[in-house]
Amino acid sequence: MKMAAARCWKLVSRGRGLSLHTAAEAASTATESTSTDVATTPVARYPPIVASLTAKSKAARLRRVERWQATVHAAQSVDEKLRILTKMQFMKYMVYPQTFALNADRWYQGFTKTVYLSGLPSPPVEPEAPLDLGALRDAACDSLLQEHFYLRRRRRAPLREEPETVVSPFLDQLVVALMGLLSPQNPVLASASVDFKRPVHFYWLRGEEIIPGGHRSGRIDAVRYQIDDKPNNQIRIPKQLPEFVPLDYSVPVEIPVMKCKPDKLPLFKRQYENSIFIGSKTADPCCYGHTQFHLLPDKLKREKLLKQNRADQIEVVFRANAIASLFAWTGAQAMYQGFWSEADVTRPFVSQGVITDGKYFSFFCYQLNTLALTAQADQNNPRKNVCWGTQSKPLYETIEGNNVKGFNDDVLLQMVHFLLNKPREDRPQVLES
Amino acid sequence: MAASGYSSRGTLIGMALASRPAQRAFLGSGQLGFGACGIPRREAYEWGVRSTRKPEPPPLDRVYEIPGLEPITYAGKMHFVPGLARPVFPPWDRGWKHPRYHRSPPIHEQPLYKEEPCYIFHQRCRLLEGVKQALWLTKTKLIEGLPEKVSSLVDEQQNHIENQDERVLNIISHARLWHSMEDIPKRETYCPIIVDSLLQLCKSQILKYPSVARRICAKNHSLSAAWTRESVLLQVRGTSGIRLSAKDPLPPIASREEVEATRNHVLETFYPISPTIDLQECHVYDLKDDTGFQEGYPYPYPHTLYLMETADLQPHRFHPEQLRAKMILFAFGSALAQARLLYGDSKVLEQPIVVQSVGTDGRVFQFLVLQLNTTDLASNEGIKNLVWVDSDQLLYRHFWCRPVIKKKVVVNLITAPGMLLWSVGHHFVLQRQPCHPTHHPTLDLPAFIPAAPPQLPVLFSEAFWPIPALPCVREPVGPVDFQPETFRKFLALYLHGCPEP
């Protein structure tokens, strides 16, 4: 009797768990569909036949992954969700927004599923409030001259430290001055929060690879990335900026596909704390991003690239910085609202970025349409993230003594338009005639 | 040296020592360093590197001491010859200035050396006598409390920003907890963030006060001002905190009569302590007055200086008294440099110069308004300068970064109808539910749990279902004892000088 029972068990369990499970499910659904009205047909009185949790099988691994995903879905607070998503540490690629790698912007587009469109999106039609361009220009020139000429510092900083000692305070002062002058027209700037050199972190998974060596060699493993960024300034607002294009907007441009492993970029792997941070913790009411200002370091400056015969990489540096930084910021904002790769965003997250090296400015807009970048979630995902950007233009020609020569009003106007971007609730309603 | 890797470090070093006396000396040493083994005495080693310093050069030959005698050296022969004197060569001169190998000349030979010492106050000087000493050094009279003009700005309702208290509380939480990924951010980060955010909040008043746009902040400026007090040379030098500069000067606060009345004020001395105690005595100095900005700066008038104490450790931070003294001296220095630039030296100013200062360590604020009436500071007589000080204003008493949770929990268990079983920690007590709940006198329990004497016998009824224990949170995360008055004073000092809207 016992032998028979054991034989019965073996017969039942030898087959693939999946097929039995699906067969049982099909049978139960079939019976349910045919017998919804007829109460006489009995429902299954045994628990659902599912794959094992602890077996060394692909089905068991799938079930464990689903169980983990269910805990994330069931998490009560965003902090708990982020903790479950980031608590396991594995080797991951460190993506640096400011990098010397060649053609880094094409690689980063692949990592973040971003489409790059040159030119900024058209601003919404709105009654233009009169701008006092003279006052704005004076404020910009005053900040520029204060740092470059008027301020007598203790020790004259060497040229290689010029970004930190001269350009960084100039950017801080410029942002604060412009925000002050524009806050009458854009009330959200008055309630915004400005961060100076606060870190921004983002951790995500994209794609799969086969582990080359070690005790897990030959197995398929997800590829993990982490961005640890430190923008010079960023403005965070309590309400979200309106979208530039609809959520499911299909861009005809293709995302570049790189044929090599990310290691060839070069990109290096390390294992350390996975963190997701927009610049302040989840309890902060200003949890949506407005604009980031980035300062390029001395080793990526134009003169150096020209001397190395890499004139085409000048724009690449700006673009790569924008794509990586803005993706990290918008992605972290989306995760702060509870979205993640299995719970994709239901509304687009929009941020703006200004990248500069002190003289040349370039402007970028980023719209995050999807967070589902893992191999499992990306199977039927037509959405792509979009990044719009401009070429770098100089703000001024030279500074001679206490004079700024060749001040470019267009660059200033563009920055002003960026700062005047406001959430939909604050916009004046366009009257239907 | 063949000691096993598993032995303790003491035996490792002990076995590595060559000779027996050295080992004995090592093991018997009185000093105990890491763990059980001790650091060996210097005499214990017979080998090894004591120091990488070059050995001293051998002393000169005796023949050099005999005057009038020309020593015969082996310099011409280009090699050592026993019997001839050792040549003395002049020190090698590179011929050009290498930045890495620069040796400063001795103090007496420096170009700026002067016989008379100068006492310099820099940003890390902690004055022993605090505010009293600062008042004597700057020939100033102290008035407690902010001046009338500024206090009226504090109380005026129209100056208040909408949701002011809520926004300041958000700023405090952001600076003390939210801005960093750490659990408890350090003072070095949160103190500048609080000051920057409060300045940002004040600047949002630009709608009501458009002249706020005529101001600019500057960091890393270097101030320098020099004056004489009773034939003692004094200087203020330093770069400290944020300076808010304005295009328009601050109007004088005290009237002419009050300024004249300071003639009768006698400066407080603190004999036998010298007034120059804790100042750095220098013989190499340059007497100059430098506002920190070049000529033609569009924002020439110093409005407010914001000084921050950001050291994490309490002994490294300035005491409130020392911070107030530093604020007085730096405000005085900026005002004096400005006065010398505008009016020259040594006279009573027609138009007194007013400079404000705010000092903080992220929680406690000190406010100060200084009016420079005279640059004639040599004697103790005559008109004095005025300073109004409002000290030790708390913005909040404490900030909990983590919630304080009481460990002993109160469990409300419902038993048979009409009976209440409650427990504190491990003690269970059953009580008949009274008609009206009362507040427990000793424990800080919510009012719905009725008071019960602890002498009742422990009873358990049959049908009861315990509700899981909830830890009761004593102190939630956030600031404790927030004082909105302090921010109103901060805002008033910021808006001081703006014309009425």
From B245, which residue of chain A is nearest by alpha-carbon distance? A146
Across the range A233-249, mean pLDDT stands at: 94
Across the range B154-160, mean pLDDT stands at: 82
Q: Does A129 touch chain B (CB under 8 A)?
A: no
pLDDT at B418: 57
Contact between B180 and A198 using a beta-carbon 8 Å cutoff: yes
Question: pLDDT above 90 covers what percent of chain B?
Answer: 65
Range from A136-140, B10-14, B172-176, B336-340 carrying the lowest mean pLDDT: B10-14
pLDDT at B464: 45
pLDDT at B416: 56
The shortest CB-CB distance from A153 to any of B179, B216, B220 is to: B220
The per-residue pLDDT for range B389-444, each reduced to its tens digit, is: 999 999 999 999 999 988 765 555 555 555 655 555 455 556 665 544 444 444 44
Report which secondary-structure segment, H or E, holds B171.
helix B164-173
The shortest CB-CB distance from B239 to any of A154, A165, A183 is to: A154
Residue A36 has pLDDT above 70, yes or no: no
The shortest CB-CB distance from A142 to any of B203, B221, B298 is to: B298
Residue B29 has pLDDT above 80, yes or no: no
- For A71-132, give the DSSP string: HHHH-SSHHHHHHHHHSS---EEEEPSS---TTHHHHHHHHHTEEEEESPPPPPP-PPPP--
Residue B446 has pLDDT above 60, yes or no: no
Q: Which tokens in the block code for residue B167?
A: 């926004």
Average pLDDT of the residues of chain A: 89
Residue B477 has pLDDT above 60, yes or no: yes
The per-residue pLDDT for range A140-179, each reduced to its tens digit, is: 999 999 999 999 988 877 888 888 899 999 999 999 999 9
Q: Does A410 touch chain B (CB under 8 A)?
A: no
Tally Cβ neighbours within 10 Å of residue A135.
13
* Mutation target among B194, B294, B477 for the A interface, most CBs of A within 10 A: B294
pLDDT at B440: 43
**Least Cα separation, residue A213 to chain B (angstroms):** 32
Band of pLDDT at residue B72, cut at 50, 70 and 90 = very high
Across the range A27-48, mean pLDDT stands at: 63
Q: Which of residues 151-190 of B touch A (CB under 8 A)?
A: 167, 170, 173-174, 177-181
Across the range B152-164, mean pLDDT stands at: 85
Q: Report which listed range, A205-214, B155-164, B434-443, is most confident.
A: A205-214
pLDDT at A62: 94
The per-residue pLDDT for range B252-263, each reduced to its tens digit, is: 999 999 999 999
pLDDT at A297: 95
**Least Cα separation, residue B4 to chain A (angstroms):** 32
Contact between A153 and B221 using a beta-carbon 8 Å cutoff: yes
Residue A31 has pLDDT above 90, yes or no: no
User: Between these two residues, A23 and A194, which has the higher pLDDT value?
Assistant: A194
Across the range B72-80, mean pLDDT stands at: 94
Q: A259 Cβ partners below 8 Å, 6+ apart? A: none
Q: Which tokens in the block code for residue A312?
A: 């085409």
How many Å apart are CA A151 and CA A146, to the nearest integer? 5
Question: pLDDT above 70 covers what percent of chain B?
Answer: 78
pLDDT at B165: 93
Residue A358 has pLDDT above 80, yes or no: yes
pLDDT at B445: 44
Chain A residues touching B297 at Cβ < 8 A: 146, 150
Contact between B298 and A181 using a beta-carbon 8 Å cutoff: no
Across the range A34-38, mean pLDDT stands at: 50
pLDDT at A37: 52
Tally Cβ neighbours within 10 Å of residue A408.
14
pLDDT at A427: 75
Q: Does B348 touch chain A (CB under 8 A)?
A: no
Range from A411-420, B370-379, B448-457 carrying the lowest mean pLDDT: B448-457
Q: Does B206 touch chain A (CB under 8 A)?
A: yes
Record the pTM. Answer: 0.82
pLDDT at A131: 86
The shortest CB-CB distance from A284 to any of B178, B193, B219 is to: B178
pLDDT at B34: 46
Contact between A152 and B222 using a beta-carbon 8 Å cutoff: yes
Contact yes or no for A304/A357 (Cβ under 8 A): no
Residue A75 has pLDDT above 80, yes or no: yes
Long-range Cβ contact pairs of A50-54 (< 8 A, separation 24 or more): A50/A17, A50/A21, A51/A17, A51/A18, A51/A21, A52/A17
**Least Cα separation, residue A148 to chain B (angstroms):** 11
Q: B249 Cβ partners below 8 Å, 6+ apart? A: B301, B351, B353, B354, B497
The shortest CB-CB distance from A280 to any of B179, B217, B296 is to: B179
Residue A379 has pLDDT above 80, yes or no: yes
Which DSSP state fits A240?
Answer: P
The per-residue pLDDT for range A88-132, each reduced to its tens digit, is: 999 999 999 999 999 999 999 999 999 999 999 988 766 677 889
Query: What residue type is assigned to position A222 of the chain?
Result: A
Contact between B173 and A283 using a beta-carbon 8 Å cutoff: yes
Band of pLDDT at residue B82, cut at 50, 70 and 90 = very high
Token look-up 């087959």 returns A15
Q: Which tokens in the block code for residue B110?
A: 């420096």
Chain B residues touching A181 at Cβ < 8 A: 206, 213
User: Between these two residues, B190 and A44, which has the higher pLDDT value?
Assistant: B190
Chain B residues touching A283 at Cβ < 8 A: 173, 177-178
pLDDT at B10: 45
pLDDT at B159: 77
The per-residue pLDDT for range B307-347, each reduced to its tens digit, is: 999 999 999 999 999 999 999 999 999 999 999 999 988 78
Provide the b/e sequence for B226-259 (b: ≥16 CB within 10 Å).
Answer: bbebeebbbbbbbbbbbbbbbbebbebbbeeeeb
Contact yes or no for A177/B317 (Cβ under 8 A): no
**Least Cα separation, residue A7 to chain B (angstroms):** 45
pLDDT at B80: 94
Range from A235-239, A341-345, B59-63 carrying the lowest mean pLDDT: B59-63
pLDDT at B5: 43
Which residues pair with residue B357 across a beta bridge?
B305, B368
Q: Does A401 touch chain B (CB under 8 A)?
A: no
From A273, which residue of chain B is nearest by alpha-carbon distance? B181
pLDDT at B441: 44
The shortest CB-CB distance from B179 to any of A184, A190, A198 is to: A198
Across the range B202-215, mean pLDDT stands at: 90
ipTM beyond cut 0.85: yes
pLDDT at A114: 96
**Least Cα separation, residue A146 to chain B (angstroms):** 8
Among A161, A123, A198, residue whose Cα is nearest residue A352: A123
From B164, which residue of chain A is nearest by alpha-carbon distance? A191
Across the range A354-371, mean pLDDT stands at: 96
Among B177, B480, B375, residue whose Cα is nearest residue A282: B177
Band of pLDDT at residue A39, cut at 50, 70 and 90 = low
Chain A residues touching B197 at Cβ < 8 A: 193-194
* Mutation target among A142, A145, A150 for the B interface, most CBs of B within 10 A: A150
Contact between B292 and A152 using a beta-carbon 8 Å cutoff: yes
* Mutation target among A136, A178, A193 for the B interface, most CBs of B within 10 A: A193
Residue B220 has pLDDT above 50, yes or no: yes
Residue A271 has pLDDT above 70, yes or no: yes
Contact yes or no for A351/A200 (Cβ under 8 A): no
Burial of residue A170 (number of CB atoms within 10 Å: 0-12, 13-18, 19+)? buried
Contact between A199 and B290 using a beta-carbon 8 Å cutoff: no
Contact yes or no for B467/B411 (Cβ under 8 A): yes
Contact between B299 and A142 using a beta-carbon 8 Å cutoff: yes
